[in-house]
């Protein structure tokens, strides 16, 4: 292990320069050629349940071990209060109170606390065992991060801090060393925020990330590079102080540097209170302006000029990520195969190579026309806080649930939509009248033509001169008269039928006219 002679941070042997202050790393001369002293707690069993197996890290106040729960055979992490604080009653009370507060916090992105105990003079907290790296280790090797990756990590971090704010907990010491990234090859990275509400007990108690941490109770709590201006002044803290720290972390992930640095903690604190930060795009030109505005909003000097809590900050960041088409764990839909083919190129081997830049542009173009409708009551609940200073936002907001995109319709458009059915009915009525009139006229024209065809005389034809016939008798005259009477009766019947048809059409036209005059 190598350490920085300026800030005291420790790195692996493959890192030669400290990413914080660019100082050459040095090896600890006392550790060369010497065996590591055996920790007396290795192999010790707390409360006949937790057997210590390995030491994971040492801090100013606590030491973290890997242990095993003997009853259920499950690996866990145990944080043990250092022996020099065991006799301090105030330290034990504070440790117990913070353990209880962390135990009440149940969130996917917050480390889970499962037990608390005291045995043989040792006070300990049992937590879930995490496998991965801290954000500090990631930034030391990979900073600056890709825009989408930085936003995805910050969205999860802000969700955990928002849950803490809802529970009445202010972290006060957010920094990359307290953000743990659990990476698995089969699932996306999961962020775990550590040390909720844990404050150092003395000014000389160095943090495991930075020995310049100011943790004097009642004065200043936090790490200078990530402290808000009100923290530097020793003022009363609100959830907006954590928002400032989140802004500094996002600034560092995007640009690779912190907004303010100095040779002493006091110099850094003065810069936080008096100087404006440089734009992240001055370090990395590819940072989108909309995302840069979110960062600068969180870094405002006055708490009232920032998002009031982590939930508001997360909503602002989430909306910006949706507009830019960035991938993140909170996305509600994934691109289908056709969308991937549109932005990809098929290789000779049959693999589809995706152009991630074009995919983001397509997603941004698709989401730009959608507007999320939020009721005024919900918006007021998110923005405002109650008189006690506690956040008054809804639990559904802090839980990270996303509203479905909907179309906003103005009131004038609604009135216009209400008039359209009347116009459609009037048009349908006109079409119906025209159709009835057409068929009525056609029936009147066809009927006379039929009668004319029925009564038309046959065409003359050449025939031989008939033989003379005898004069008709009285019976033949009587039958001829009956035939004429029948023909006249048939003509009268046809005329009456035509009149009835005409009267029915007239009545139908009158009804349609009355409907059009008074539709409702």
Least confident among 116-130, 235-249, 365-379, 412-426: 365-379
**What's the average model confidence in pLDDT over 152-176?**
91
Q: How confident is the model at residue 221 (pLDDT cuts 50, 70, 90)?
A: low
Residue of higher predicted confidence among 217 and 153: 153
Q: How confident is the model at residue 390 (pLDDT cuts 50, 70, 90)?
A: very low
- Most confident range, picked from 45-49, 59-63, 357-361: 45-49
Assess whether pLDDT exceeds 60 at residue 287. Answer: yes
Q: How confident is the model at residue 15 (pLDDT cuts 50, 70, 90)?
A: confident
Q: Do domains 38-128 and 134-331 have the same CATH topology?
A: no
Assess whether pLDDT exceeds 60 at residue 275. Answer: yes
Question: Which residues are CB-neighbours of 353 under 8 A, at least 6 positions away?
Answer: 344, 345, 346, 347
Assess whether pLDDT exceeds 50 at residue 343. Answer: yes
Cβ contact 20:260 at 8 Å = no
Assess whether pLDDT exceeds 80 at residue 404. Answer: no
- Most confident range, picked from 87-91, 181-185, 371-375, 418-422: 181-185
**What's the average model confidence in pLDDT over 353-382?**
56
Residue 102 φ then ψ, to 5°? -65, -30
pLDDT of residue 494: 57
pLDDT of residue 411: 45
The yes-or-no answer on residue 173 being catalytic is: yes
Neighbours of 16 (CB within 10 A): 9
DSSP 208: S
pTM: 0.58
Tell me if residue 51 falls in helix, strand or coil. strand
Q: Give the whole-angstrom CA distance, residue 89 versus residue 87.
A: 6
Q: Write out pLDDT tens, residues 132-154.
A: 999 999 999 999 999 999 999 99
Q: What CATH number does the domain located at 38-128 have?
A: 3.30.200.20
Q: Give the whole-angstrom CA distance, residue 198 versus residue 111.
A: 13
Q: Write out pLDDT tens, residues 471-507.
A: 555 555 555 555 555 555 555 555 555 555 556 666 7
Among the listed residues 440, 456, 391, the one whose alpha carbon sits nearest the alpha carbon of residue 166: 391
b (16+ CB within 10 A) / e for 285-309: eebbeebbebbbbbbbeebeebbbb
pLDDT above 90 coverage of the chain, percent: 29
Q: Give the whole-angstrom CA distance, residue 239 versus residue 217.
A: 18
What does the domain layout of the chain look like in residue ranges?
38-128, 134-331, 410-432+500-520
pLDDT of residue 7: 66
**What's the average model confidence in pLDDT over 260-281?**
92
Least confident among 224-233, 391-400, 442-451, 479-488: 391-400
Q: Give the whole-angstrom CA distance, residue 231 versus residue 401.
A: 31
pLDDT of residue 363: 65
Assess whether pLDDT exceeds 50 at residue 345. Answer: yes
H/E element, 55: strand 50-58
Q: How confident is the model at residue 122 (pLDDT cuts 50, 70, 90)?
A: confident
pLDDT of residue 430: 81
User: Residue 11's beta-bridge partner residues?
Assistant: 2
Question: How far apart, in Å, are the Cα atoms of 142 and each of 136, 145, 199, 330, 408?
Answer: 10, 6, 29, 24, 42
**What's the average model confidence in pLDDT over 273-281?**
94
Residue 325 φ then ψ, to 5°? 75, 25
Residue of higher predicted confidence among 201 and 462: 462
Residue of higher predicted confidence among 99 and 470: 99
Among the listed residues 128, 105, 140, the one whose alpha carbon sits nearest the alpha carbon of residue 25: 140
Q: How confident is the model at residue 251 (pLDDT cuts 50, 70, 90)?
A: very high
* DSSP notation for 304-354: GGS-SSHHHHHHHHHHHHHHHT---TT-S----HHHHHHTEEE-TTS-EEE
Share the mean pLDDT of the chain.
Answer: 74
pLDDT of residue 409: 46
H/E element, 415: helix 411-455
Q: Write out pLDDT tens, residues 436-483.
A: 877 777 666 555 554 544 444 454 544 455 555 555 555 555 555 555
Q: Write out pLDDT tens, residues 307-331.
A: 999 999 999 999 999 898 887 666 5
Assess whether pLDDT exceeds 80 at residue 86. Answer: no
How far does CA 102 lie from the centroid of its chain? Answer: 26
As a whole number of Å, the CA-based R_g of the chain is: 43
Q: Give the whole-angstrom CA distance, residue 133 versus residue 143.
A: 14
* 3-state SS string for 100-132: HHHHHCCCCCECCEEEEEEECCEEEEEEECCCC
DSSP 204: T
Residue of higher predicted confidence among 100 and 497: 100
Strands 122-128 and 62-69: unpaired
Using alpha carbons only, what angle is made at residue 163 by residues 157 and 169, rounded to the nearest 5 degrees? 105
Neighbours of 409 (CB within 10 A): 10
pLDDT above 70 coverage of the chain, percent: 60
**What's the average model confidence in pLDDT over 248-266?**
94
pLDDT of residue 249: 97
Q: What CATH number does the domain located at 134-331 have?
A: 1.10.510.10
Q: Give the whole-angstrom CA distance, residue 383 versus residue 315.
A: 11
Least confident among 351-355, 424-428, 488-492: 488-492
Q: How confident is the model at residue 293 (pLDDT cuts 50, 70, 90)?
A: very high
Q: Give the whole-angstrom CA distance, residue 213 versus residue 358.
A: 44
Instruction: Out of 48, 73, 173, 242, pick the active-site residue.
Output: 173
Q: How confident is the model at residue 401 (pLDDT cuts 50, 70, 90)?
A: very low
- The stretches of 71-211 forming alpha helices (DSSP H) are 89-104, 135-142, 147-166
């Amino acid at each position: 292990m190598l350490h920085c002679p300026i800030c005291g941070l420790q790195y692996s042997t493959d890192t030669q320069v400290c990413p914080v202050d660019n100082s050459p790393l040095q090896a600890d001369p006392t550790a060369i050629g010497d065996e590591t002293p055996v920790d007396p707690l290795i192999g010790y069993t707390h409360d006949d349940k937790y057997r210590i197996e390995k030491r994971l890290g040492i801090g100013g106040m606590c030491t973290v071990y890997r242990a095993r729960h003997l009853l259920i055979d499950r690996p866990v992490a145990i944080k043990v209060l250092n022996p020099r604080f065991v006799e301090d009653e105030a330290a034990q009370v504070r440790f117990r109170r913070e353990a209880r507060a962390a135990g009440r916090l149940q969130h996917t992105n917050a480390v889970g606390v499962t037990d608390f105990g005291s045995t043989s003079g040792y006070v300990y907290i049992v937590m879930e065992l995490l496998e991965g790296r801290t954000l500090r280790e990631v930034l030391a090797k990979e900073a600056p991060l890709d825009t989408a990756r930085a936003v995805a990590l910050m969205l999860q971090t802000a969700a955990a801090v928002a849950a803490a704010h809802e529970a009445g907990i202010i972290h006060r010491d957010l920094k990359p060393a307290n953000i743990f990234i659990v990476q698995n090859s089969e699932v996306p990275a999961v962020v775990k925020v550590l040390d909720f509400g844990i404050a150092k007990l003395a000014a000389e108690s160095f943090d495991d990330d930075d020995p310049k941490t100011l943790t004097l109770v009642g004065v200043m709590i936090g790490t200078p590079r990530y402290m808000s201006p009100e923290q530097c002044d020793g003022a009363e803290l609100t959830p907006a102080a954590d928002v400032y720290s989140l802004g500094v972390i996002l600034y560092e992930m995007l640009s690779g540097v912190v907004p303010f640095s100095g040779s002493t903690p006091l110099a850094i604190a003065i810069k936080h209170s008096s100087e404006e930060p440089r734009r992240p795009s001055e370090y990395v030109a590819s940072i989108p302006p909309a995302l840069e505005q979110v960062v600068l909003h969180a870094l405002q000097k006055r708490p009232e000029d920032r998002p009031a809590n982590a939930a508001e900050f997360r909503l602002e960041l989430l909306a910006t990520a949706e507009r830019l088409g960035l991938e993140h764990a909170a996305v509600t839909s994934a691109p289908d195969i056709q969308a991937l083919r549109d932005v990809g190129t098929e290789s000779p081997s049959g693999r589809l190579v995706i152009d991630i830049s074009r995919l983001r542009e397509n997603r941004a173009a698709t989401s730009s026309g959608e507007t999320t409708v939020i009721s005024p009551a919900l918006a007021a609940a998110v923005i405002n806080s109650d008189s006690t200073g506690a956040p008054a936002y809804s639990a559904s907001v802090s839980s990270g649930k996303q509203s479905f995109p909907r179309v906003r319709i103005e009131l004038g458009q609604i009135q216009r939509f209400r008039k359209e059915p009347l116009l459609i009915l009037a048009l349908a009525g006109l079409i119906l009248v025209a159709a009835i009139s057409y068929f009525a006229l056609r029936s009147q024209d066809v009927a006379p033509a039929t009668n004319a065809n029925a009564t038309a005389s046959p065409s003359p034809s050449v025939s031989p001169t008939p033989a003379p016939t005898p004069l008709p008798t009285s019976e033949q005259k009587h039958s001829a008269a009956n035939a004429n009477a029948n023909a006249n009766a048939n003509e009268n019947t046809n005329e009456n039928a035509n009149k009835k048809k005409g009267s029915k059409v007239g009545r139908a036209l009158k009804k349609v006219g009355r409907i059009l005059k008074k539709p409702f």
